[in-house]
Amino acid sequence: TRRGDSGTLCVSPAGLLWQLRPSDVEVELLAHTRDVVSRDLPAETGLHTGWVENGGLFIASNKQRLDEYKRLMSLGKVYGVESHVLTPSQTKDLYPLMNIDDLYGTLYVPKDGTMDPAGTCSTLARAATARGATVIIENCPVTGIQVRTDDFGVKRVHAVETAHGTIQTPCVVNCAGVWARALGRLAGVRVPLVAMHHAYVVTERIEGIQNMPNVRDHDASVYLRLQGDALSVGGYESNPIFWEEVSEKFAFGLFDLDWDVFMQHIEGAVNRVPVLEKTGIKSTVCGPESFTADHKPLMGEAPEVRGFFLGCGFNSAGKRELRGSCIHTWIWMRRPWAHPDIAISLPSRRFHHSLTDNNRWIRERSHESYAKNYSVVFPHDEPLAGRNVRKDPLHEELLRQGCVFQERHGWERPGWFNPGGAAPVLDYDYYGAYGRQRHGDYTYNRLLGDEYTFDFPPHHDIIKKECLTCRNALALFDMSYFGKFYLVGPEATKAADWLFSADVSKAPGTGSAPRFAGEISPQNTPSTLEALFCTGTKVSPSIPGWDGYYLAIGGAVAQHNWSHITTVLQDMKFQCKLLDCSEELGMMSIQGPLSRVVLQEVLDTDLSNEAFPFSTHKITTAAGCQVRAMRLSFVGEMGWELHVPRADCVKVYRAVMEAGAQHGITNAGYRAIDSLSIEKGYRHWHADLRPDDTPLEAGLAFTCKLKSSIPFLGREAVEAQKAKGIFRRLVCFTTEEKVPMFGLEAVWRDGKVVGHIRRADFGFAIDKTIAYGYIRDPAGGPVSLDFVKSGSYELERMGVTFPARAHTKSPFDPDNKRVKGFY
Ligand SMILES: Cc1cc2nc3c(=O)[nH]c(=O)nc-3n(C[C@H](O)[C@H](O)[C@H](O)COP(=O)(O)OP(=O)(O)OC[C@H]3O[C@@H](n4cnc5c(N)ncnc54)[C@H](O)[C@@H]3O)c2cc1C
């Protein structure tokens, strides 16, 4: 809430609270926020927060939009959010002033409502002061931040200089909104956000509007919020105004509304509630707000300076997500407790440092996220903005062969291969905004658009072909976007023992099993995960007395892993370094029953089971180039990863493809990897595994060296949970009916909702839909394997349930024969 000179409230956010979002984490957080504002705070303080429970209505003008709402409805059941899909005429009964001529249907959430920002803030302040909190200094601009480098070369916050003097502190939280970039600069920290104008207008009185629900007309990109007997109208325009020169003296200021830009919202609003055409505008509210590249806030400790935390970039949702309590918890635990989605969205950790420094990237992506904020979230959509920033050594080679790229962490990685030919990603055209020319015939954009469906996508059969060729012959996956790090130094083994939950004590050249690092909290209670799919391999550095590990980590979380590992190395003062060679090495994975026969022609080493068993690696040569060959698989087949110096990648790639031609080798992308890996039961970080999951709940106890006496980060927490039992568990489901699922479907067990699906895909070898989700016992008991096996299950997709079978082992090759070379 911003206050004017007189102390009266002059600007407030619209305060809309919609509980259903296409993210389980956000649904949970919003439902929690609603409970606090509508129930807990009034109960604790005896004050009314100003909460108005007038309900929320989402408008669908087409089938895809209503399908999305039905998905939200199913997810809402998991969190107790009541919602109803209404026909146009039912909607008219509920909201008589609404135009329903172009309605396909609506989603009504009776317990949505409107927060009063001023009332919520003052009630929160009252509750906090009653519990002993004090506001020490108000109106106290920070003019400098003193950062010192400690004996280990780590930069730490030392003091804050303010207009009222210097405060010595090891901890600063940057909550400076659009000014957060400037404040970050004082400490040498990059804050990747942009400032934009964001606005709504308040209408004159409208007869008959009282008690109507708030409306979100996503297709028109507009919202209509009830404000007493009037409406406020706002939205997300396609051409938002960037605030280029962020003025220091504007904290309580407002901009003049640019009607040329805002008229698109008025047109959408008038179409939906025609009486608005004859209604005057009482006031306009246009303020500065910060936006980020992925429309999510920036939270957590910055990578550049220890003790410097971010709590900014709220993307016009700054009031909704009770960030105050979250920030407190982050500082205390150094990680978001209540918001796992943001836990892996920490500022440094979700954006690679080359991106946080790239103004073009930040600007383009923030624009696209803003303009598409109300777009349907389709499972296979990709951004058009900020592309081609990080290209791997095979990029041009694969592009010529029809590769349709996906963007992750700035990297372009292969999604799938289009038999129709090349589909390059072009420079961002801002969707024609700001007078730019829109790309006319844009193949990549057309291919994305073809997949805007919640049905099986039109490219289903192409993905199928890539998958089955891998299962029956062999496929080459370019995985060069992986992060590739060396952990080296006199205490590298000590550090690896502590960081990795798996036993890494094997001799160089023998160990390359997937490992992960456990997270630890100050109380050491939650045994949650911090990082995964870090394959750690012991290597021999040339410096006497040094040990080394080569780590390969999924590219989308490489920065997150990097930050986690360096933080632990700093905290534990281990004598070793983490070196990043991600850009210098390419990585191709050749998988399938014929991989050995083909690679034996290319690699100068014996690939037999005896000479090169599963989970080992060797330095060898391929096509005359030195490569590190690792016998590993993320798709459940016999196969090898080749880690190759950048300059040699094309040569090695061509040699493999040439040798494989007569055996039917194919290029394959990450869409195929997604399907093949779920079929085999391999976990994906961020989907099957997040920081709110534990190794035991995720079925990964085998990766924890509990049988050894070696201490590791999180060990006590894992042991404590093992002793107590687990109360949620990741379960694999298949459905008999071939129905497309993508995650967020509700899981029913014996007639009760027990969880939701985190990740789903189609498994082509078993010819079934496969879905993974965490389930709980509604009675609150432990979730044992017997509990899993004894239930009768259904998966609810868009309000329709499908009988499902729960598996306690992977439905494909449960005995792990194929990865070991036994076909
Ligand atoms: C028109 C409009 C409608 C909105 N509607 C909604 C909505 O419906 N729901 C919702 O949840 N959100 C909404 N928002 C967004 C919400 O208002 C913001 O996300 C939220 O207010 C941001 O809070 P903040 O504390 O991060 O930043 P701010 O409120 O901008 O506070 C930043 C503070 O930092 C101070 N500062 C800057 N530099 C320094 C320095 N060097 N030293 C000390 N202090 C400094 C500034 O003076 C300022 O007080 C809306 C925003 C706008 C503009």
Q: Give dist(CA 689, CA 518) in Å, integer.
A: 12
Element (H, E) at 547: strand 547-553
Q: For residue 318, what pLDDT is reported?
A: 61
Contact 30 CB / ligand 1 (< 6 Å):
no
Decide whether any atom of ligand 1 lies within 6 Å of the 346 Cβ: no
Q: Is 236 in the pocket of ligand 1 (CB under 6 A)?
A: no
3-state helix, strand, coil split of the chain in percent (to 5) is 30, 25, 45
**Ligand 1, closest atom to CA 142?**
42
- CATH 3.30.70.1400 in the chain, residues? 483-580
Determine whether the shortest distance from the Cβ of 216 to ligand 1 is under 6 A.
no
Q: How far is the CA of 710 from the centre of ligand 1 (A)?
A: 48
Q: How many residues does the chain have?
A: 823
What is the location of CATH 3.30.1360.120 in the chain?
585-671
Atom nearest to 143 CA in ligand 1: 41
State whether the Cα torsion 266-270-273-279 is positive or negative.
positive
Q: Are 56 and 69 in contact (CB under 8 A)?
A: no
Are 20 and 74 in contact by the 8 Å Cβ rule? The answer is no
Nearest-atom index, ligand 1, CA of 176: 34
DSSP one-letter string for 75-132: HHHHTT---EEE-HHHHHHH-TT---TT--EEEEETT-EE--HHHHHHHHHHHHHHTT
Is ligand 1 within 6 A of the CB of residue 142? yes
Question: What's the gap in Å between 132 CA and the centre of ligand 1?
Answer: 25
Q: Where in the chain is the domain with CATH 3.30.9.10?
A: 8-292
Q: What's the gap in Å between 251 CA and the centre of ligand 1? A: 8
Ligand 1 atom closest to residue 177's alpha carbon, by position in its atom list: 27
The confidence score (pLDDT) of residue 474 equals 98
pLDDT at residue 298 in the model: 87
Probe target for ligand 1 pocket from 289, 296, 299, 322, with the most ligand atoms within 8 Å of CB: 289
What's the average pLDDT block by block, 10 residues per block, for the chain (823 residues)? 28 72 85 87 94 96 96 96 97 98 97 89 88 80 96 93 92 93 96 95 96 96 95 96 90 91 96 97 94 88 89 76 45 40 51 90 96 94 97 98 95 97 97 96 96 94 98 98 93 90 66 42 39 60 79 84 87 93 96 98 97 91 95 95 97 98 98 97 85 86 88 88 94 96 97 97 98 97 96 97 97 95 95
- Locate 820 and state its tokens: 């070991």
| Residue 141 in contact with ligand 1 by CB distance below 6 A | yes
4 lines ligand 1 (CB under 6 A): no
Residue 324 beta carbon below 6 angstroms from any ligand 1 atom: no
- According to DSSP, residue 597 is labeled H
Q: What is the pLDDT of residue 81?
A: 95
CB 619 within 8 A of CB 639: no
Burial 449-488 (b: 16+ CB within 10 A, else e): eebebbebbebbebbbbbbbbbbebbbbbbbbbbbbbbbb
Q: How far is the CA of 376 from the centre of ligand 1 (A)?
A: 27
> Residue 178 C-alpha to ligand 1 middle, in angstroms?
7
- Give the span between the Cα atoms of 532 and 363, in whole angstroms: 31
Tell me, what's the pLDDT at 507? 52
Atom number of ligand 1 nearest to Cα 140: 43
207 CA to centre of ligand 1 in angstroms: 33
The answer, yes or no, to whether any atom of ligand 1 lies below 6 A from the CB of 184, is no
Indicate whether residue 739 lines ligand 1 (CB < 6 A): no
pLDDT (0 to 100) of residue 627: 96
Dist. CA 363 → ligand 1 center (Å):
19
State the pLDDT at residue 656: 98
Q: Is 120 exposed, middle or buried (0-12, 13-18, 19+ CB in 10 A)?
A: buried
Smallest Cα–Cα separation from 819: which of 631, 681, 634, 638?
638
Give CATH superfamily name and number for 585-671. Probable tRNA modification gtpase trme; domain 1 (3.30.1360.120)
What pLDDT is attached to residue 5?
27
pLDDT for residue 12: 41
How is domain 8-292 classified at the CATH fold level? D-Amino Acid Oxidase; Chain A, domain 2 (3.30.9)
Work out which ligand 1 atom sits closest to the CA atom of 15: 8
Closest residue by CA, ligand 1 atom 43: 141
Please list the residue range(s) of the chain that carry CATH number 2.40.30.110: 727-807
Cα 295 to Cα 193, 251, 313, 318, 353: the distances in Å are: 10, 22, 8, 11, 18
Fold for domain 483-580?
Alpha-Beta Plaits (3.30.70)
Total Cβ atoms within 10 A of residue 624: 10
* pTM value > 0.75: yes
For ligand 1, is residue 312 a contact (CB within 6 Å)?
A: yes
Please name which of 15, 560, 756 lies closest in space to residue 321, comparing C-alpha atoms. 15
Separation of CA 297 and ligand 1 centre (Å):
12
Region label for 165, one of left (φ > 0), alpha (ψ between -120 and 50) or beta (otherwise): left
Fold for 727-807, please state it: Elongation Factor Tu (Ef-tu); domain 3 (2.40.30)
pLDDT at 160: 96
